Homo-oligomer: A and B are copies of this chain.
């Protein structure tokens, strides 16, 4: 049982920060062979995603959320409802297998934090590992 708190610095949204290397370092540091890693961001206007970290694709990710949930629509919740709604469609957490001493990601899979808030933040990400 390992729990680590990471701080991830983000720019005003939409910002996408690849945290895969930090997660891989935790697997190596504790020499985990097999298990599960849960990655959880402690915020309501950010999310954890797993997909390809490619510059044009990340522009598509941003445009998708800007189109679906525009900033300038009227919402019931004042100020930043759009940031909450965008996060709601994703999730604050992902659980990832660890296998043969490695984070078991596919060739194109990166774990990323997506920031939907409107100011720069220091996001707390809790990484929990169960395994042997």
Contact = CB atoms under 8 A, between A and B. Distances in A.
A87 interface: yes
B64 A85 contact: yes
Interface string A1-38: 10101000000000000000000000000000011101
A34 B99 CA distance: 21
A40 B78 contact: no
Number of copies: 3
A6 to B, nearest CB: 12
Contacts of A60: 75-77, 81, 84-85
Contacts of A41: 106
Given A50-B93, A54-B77, A56-B75, 5 more contacts: A35-B128, A44-B51, A51-B88, A57-B77, A99-B128
